[in-house]
Structure 1
């Protein structure tokens, strides 16, 4: 141990000698906050980022730094820009970034490599020098650290591995904000970049879900957010108010209680945990026109006498006991039937199997079945499930217990309702539907264009189906459980100085750099640094 380091340790020991063990630990806690932004391409995320920067700086006296993940693509995997015939330059530039990110993930063998670059930058900035490539013992460096009133905004997350790594390293001081803009507005924003309709379709599809090992998957990352915020041209003036509320929750700087919509979505998420469905757990709740919860529901198999099977029932005939998914089995039967009917056609049979061996005939038949099962609309069928859907369960229970109170109310569902449930939601008189997870199989707005709309600002007599806006159910209890006292011994509300207040969740600087060093190993091991 160096003499200077020994002196530093002795000084710290002397300072903390009279402190309790708890006080000594609290002295190591950082004020840093890491905020990740997840937003589908074309969404109005810039409005959110700018609002966060101003509020964190002005109201909370934080130094704010935006780390743009796409910058690491050009820095570490620069691709020559080659415009292809029939493509706009803007499209080529955007696709180059997407493909460059894919290549970088493949090169490092890490789907979270862009976030690893961001973590490395945060780590180096905390020490004021390059510590990733230093030979100096990290424990000698940690003793020098002091807390910083610093907020990093990571723009923007594109796959779940990135999100999972940030949560693993930064735990409670990391917050993911998922930004949603209506589809038509995303397309308008992209159109203003002089992109063609075909190019816009391609970009949105690729950004949402790239069908390759090292591609993007915003769809499955977005739904894991801690806060959800809807931003459109019509409501963007509300962004500051919404983010101010989120920050008040993070810092406990003002008393914030759950909004009725947040309570209802938490109830829906809680209800989802009751489901034993082999495919997915879905929960729903219904409120009346005053925001009061009148019923909950989840997807599971109905039982004689009413309601659904549940844990502890003497006879349980759910799919978890039969070990079979009826929907998948019936789709397999349907695939067999379609293939059989195609091959029974004499002309087709002759065209396909003329001069073929028995082995070749079996291979062609299996390929045909696989194509029907995987690439046709057969895969999207939902008609053969034994489970009652969560929305239907909530509607039935609500009708039994609350009768007409459901009319004019709202339905909250963890997943976008399918077209079968959509028609029942409409006939029940529900005026608004809120969801978190998209459901691509749903044809609700196509089949019921006259009665359903995804336009938040529509004045038509239609049921609105909207992305949920507010605190995510995953951190509901953490965010709304009081940590600091609200009043002093004099009975008066404690006045908070936002410029000095600590975040509700903090981490020790004694452990944080070690976790950060561990998280960038794939970069050093791949030789990219």
Structure 2
């Protein structure tokens, strides 16, 4: 769920950001998605309504043919251009009030208002769940039968049908999405055993997750401060290391042999150091 929560930040939707992750039955991640326009289309948060109104856009494909030239049907004998309706809405727009920020607009909200409808089909974006599922189709099939869907918002009717079709077993969500998806789609299987199980997520996400799991310091260092216990070099190994260094300066073979004999029988560093030191002092004289 933390992956889904983070992925929603990639969304270019200016209304609501949603993230989703699909896994197999073993919770191995198979795809990640967020609500956004199809690939190679410009996200809503990067479009500026002034470019459409003033015909100042360098690339006309930033806006659809409908947005530029289409009409909204009012009745059998009357229709108005979408662009003119938008222009009217922004007639009193003061650019200075944005303080340099981009003036995006939601096509779905405007189109539904002009038609006096509430139609999800008008959205430019794919939903996060279907975007994740389509990644699998796009880049290579992965079986999701009996798998899981993690989404920051419970799926709508359209995404619920796709999850049902793919055989998703569990759907975990954070925020409930308004609609009849659960009663109308997810609980409507002929065999109730095949119905996806919807579960609200309980746990830490976002910054809370980071605070809960991000340690102040490495736990190993914390244990050292709390217990004072750290690994120690065995005395025998320490004696051997010191002896190796000191013996490199000793020329007396009898001393070398004596040190090796002591290393095999005794762990005492003091005895070895004393023996080698006396030998080195004799050599100095």
TM-score norm. by structure 1 comes to: 0.30
Q: CA deviation at 1:459?
A: 7.0
Q: For residues 426 and 398 of structure 1, what CA distance do their matches in structure 2 show?
A: 16
Q: Is the 8 A contact 1:276 1:318 kept in 2?
A: no
Determine the C-alpha separation between the residues in 2 that align with 1:317 and 1:285.
Answer: 29
Q: Which residue of 1 aligns with 2:261?
A: none
Matched, 1:286 2:22: yes
- Distance (Å, rounded) in 2 between the aligned partners of 1:292 and 1:318: 38
8 Å contact kept, 2:44–2:104: no
Partners of 1:428 and 1:401 in 2: how far apart?
16
| Partner residue in 1 for 2:195 | 462
Per the alignment, residue 490 of structure 1 pairs with 230
**1:323 is aligned to 2:104:** yes
Partner of 2:134: 396
Q: 1:322 to 1:389 in 2, by over 3 A?
A: farther
Query: Cα gap change, 1:318/1:276 in structure 2, threshold over 3 Å: closer, same or farther?
Result: farther
- Equivalent-residue separation in structure 2 for 1:288 and 1:461 (angstroms): 16
| 1:295-318 deviations in Å (ceiling 9; x for gaps) | 1111111134xx885999x97838
CA distance in 2, matches of 1:309, 1:279: 12
* Cα distance in 1, alignment partners of residues 207 and 159 from structure 2: 25
Q: Which runs of 5+ in 2 are unaligned?
A: 47-57, 65-100, 232-285
CA contact (8 A) 1:300 1:318 kept: no
How far apart are the structure 2 equivalents of 1:321 and 1:427?
A: 40
Matched residues in 1 for 2:35 and 2:6: separation? Answer: 12
Does structure 2 conserve the Cα–Cα contact (< 8 Å) formed by 1:268 and 1:413?
yes
Q: Distance in 2 between matches of 1:322 and 1:287?
A: 37
Aligned to 2:153: 415
> Alpha-carbon deviation of 1:266?
0.7
Q: In structure 1, how many angstroms separate the alpha carbons of the residues matched to 2:140 and 2:27?
A: 14
Give 1:328 shift.
1.2
Q: 2:18 and 2:63 mapped to 1: Cα distance? A: 16
Conserved? CA contact 2:5–2:205, under 8 Å: no
Q: Which runs of 4+ in 1 moved over 4 A?
A: 307-312, 318-322
- Secondary structure (helix, strand or coil) at the match of 1:406 reads coil
Name which one, 1 or 2, has greater alpha-carbon Rg. Answer: 2
Give unpaired runs (5+ residues) of structure 1: 1-264, 336-377, 453-457, 492-529
CA distance in 2, matches of 1:286, 1:327: 27
Output the CA distance in 2 between the equivalents of 1:308 and 1:429: 32
Q: 1:330 to 1:284 in 2, by over 3 A?
A: same
Q: Conserved in 2, the CA contact under 8 Å of 1:309 and 1:318?
A: no
Say yes or no: does 1:447 pair with 2:184.
yes
- Counterpart for residue 210 of structure 2: 477
Matched residue, 2:245: none
Q: Using the TM superposition, give the Cα deviation of residue 476 of structure 1 relative to its aligned residue in structure 2, in angstroms.
A: 1.4
Q: Rate the CA distance shift 1:289–1:332 in 2: closer, same or farther, 3 A.
A: same
RMSD of Structure 2 on Structure 1 (CA):
3.4
SS at match of 1:405: coil
The answer to whether the Cα contact below 8 Å between 1:300 and 1:308 also exists between their aligned partners in 2 is no
Deviation at residue 383 of structure 1 after TM alignment:
1.8
Quote how far apart the aligned CAs of 1:445 are. 1.9
CA distance in 1, matches of 2:32, 2:199: 19
- Which of the numbers 333, 336, 354 marks the counterpart of 2:114? 333
Q: 1:310 to 1:384 in 2, by over 3 A?
A: closer
Q: Deviations over 1:91-150 (max 9, x none)?
A: xxxxxxxxxxxxxxxxxxxxxxxxxxxxxxxxxxxxxxxxxxxxxxxxxxxxxxxxxxxx
Structure 1 residues 264-288: Cα deviation after superposition (integer angstroms, max 9, x where no partner): x111111110112121111111111
Map 1:213-252 onto structure 2 (within 5 A). none
Give the deviation of 1:399 after TM superposition: 2.8
The 1:482–1:430 alpha-carbon spacing in structure 2 relative to 1, beyond 3 Å, is same
Q: 1:289–1:331: structure 2 CA closer, same or farther, 3 Å change rule?
A: same
Q: Kindly tell me: are residues 469 and 308 of structure 1, through their superposed partners in 2, closer, same or farther at Cα, counting changes over 3 Å?
A: farther
Aligned counterpart in structure 1 of residue 34 of structure 2, from 298, 301, 309: 298
Alpha-carbon distance in 2 for matches of 1:308, 1:405: 31
Q: Is the 8 A contact 1:283 1:390 kept in 2?
A: yes
* Partner-residue secondary structure (3-state), 2:123: coil
Alignment of 1:144-183 (within 5 A): none
